[in-house]
């Protein structure tokens, strides 16, 4: 079964003349890692807002694990564009948020899960720190750990690394791939950075037009585990140029 299905989905923001998504259909297979690539403002975040139930499509349906998305609910692990660590909560308390809301575990078990999740992302011992004591990369890892604690097997990551400096960003990309390979989660990752999309995804989903009528699936011919050196292979460089060309065409439109 597909983790995610879009079935002829249309949507528009109130007060706007045209749809931002127009009869879009696509499917996502379990365990895959796709990057959604498109220029700024083309509607990528809007797709995530619909999948997480924050916005309802006007027409069509969205299914997560076969269940229709309808109204607010916990359909997936959504990590928004900003890390959104609440400054009045410690790092540990921030991670506990999804658990608190699910109300399935007692305080002690929550704490154990949080400690385990922090250790998993290399932040063991940071539970009692304030978020502003963490560096940019550490904050993103904490936010990722919080997303993992939702327990969803579909993770939606919205440009999580775009605010990081270059070196932190590439090490976070490697780190994320390693995390993904450890689990059987499905990851959708929004980016407007072509290299990032190529390095991370098994296939790139390109947004070519707004309104979004289709996502063009472009497989990346690289095996996992990957290293950054693979990006220098001639077929990857060609692919990169092709993708840049597609984005440029959209900017020109």
Partner 1 sequence: MKKANRGNLPAMILLFFLMVLWQLGAMKINAAYILPSPLQILSRLWELRQVLFTVHLPATMGVTALGLAISVVLGVLLALVMDASPLCRKTLYPLVVASQTIPTTAIAPLFVLWFGYGIWSKVLVTVLITFFPITITVYDGLQSARIEMAELLLSYGATGRDVFFKIKVPCTLPYFFSAIKMAVPLSIIGAAIGEWLGAQSGLGYFSRRMMTQLDGAGVFAPIVLLSAVAMLAVAVISVVEKKVVRWRGEI
Residues making contact with partner 1 (CB under 8 A): 49, 52-54, 72-76, 78, 80, 82, 84, 86-89, 97-98, 100-102, 130, 150
177 DSSP assignment: H
In the complex with Mg ion, which residue's Cβ is closer, 20 or 105?
20
Can you give the binding site for ligand ADP, defined by CB under 6 A? Answer: 13, 16, 20, 38, 40-46
Give the C-alpha separation, 191 to 195, whole Å: 10
In the complex with Mg ion, which residue's Cβ is closer, 45 or 250?
45
In the complex with ligand ADP, which residue's Cβ is closer, 43 or 53?
43
Which of ligand ADP, partner 1, Mg ion, none interacts with 82 (beta carbon under 5 to 8 A by kind)? partner 1
- At residue 237, what are phi and psi to the nearest 5 degrees? -65, -40
Write out the H or E segment, with its range, that includes residue 174.
helix 166-182
In the complex with Mg ion, which residue's Cβ is closer, 146 or 192?
192
**What is the smallest separation between the CB atom of 235 and ligand ADP, expressed in angstroms?**
28
Which of Mg ion, partner 1, ligand ADP, none interacts with 166 (beta carbon under 5 to 8 A by kind)? none
Give the C-alpha separation, 159 to 200, whole Å: 12
Neighbours of 52 (CB within 10 A): 23
Give the C-alpha separation, 249 to 148, whole Å: 36
Which of ligand ADP, partner 1, Mg ion, none interacts with 53 (beta carbon under 5 to 8 A by kind)? partner 1
CB 183 within 8 A of CB 173: no
């Amino acid at each position: 079964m597909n983790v995610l299905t879009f079935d002829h989905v249309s949507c528009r923001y109130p007060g706007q003349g045209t749809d931002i998504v127009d009869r879009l259909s696509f499917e996502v297979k379990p365990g895959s890692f796709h990057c959604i690539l498109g220029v700024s403002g083309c509607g990528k975040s809007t797709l995530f807002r619909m999948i997480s139930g924050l916005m309802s499509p006007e027409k069509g349906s969205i299914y997560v694990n076969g269940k229709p998305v309808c109204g607010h609910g916990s359909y997936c692990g959504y990590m928004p564009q900003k890390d959104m660590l609440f400054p009045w909560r410690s790092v540990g308390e921030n991670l506990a948020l999804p658990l608190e809301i699910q109300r399935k575990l007692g305080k002690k078990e929550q704490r154990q899960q949080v400690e385990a999740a922090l250790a998993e992302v290399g932040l063991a011992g940071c539970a009692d720190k304030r978020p502003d004591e963490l560096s940019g990369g550490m904050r993103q890892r904490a936010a990722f750990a919080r997303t993992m604690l939702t327990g969803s097997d579909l993770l939606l990551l919205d440009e999580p690394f775009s605010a990081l400096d270059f070196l932190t960003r590439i090490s976070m990309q490697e780190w994320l791939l390693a995390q993904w390979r450890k689990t059987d989660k499905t990851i959708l990752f929004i980016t407007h950075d072509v290299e990032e999309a190529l390095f991370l995804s098994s296939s790139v989903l390109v947004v070519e037009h707004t309104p979004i009528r289709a996502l063009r699936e472009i497989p990346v011919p690289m095996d996992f585990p990957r290293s950054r050196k693979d990006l220098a292979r001639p077929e990857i460089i060609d692919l990169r140029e092709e993708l840049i060309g597609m984005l440029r065409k959209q900017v020109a439109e």
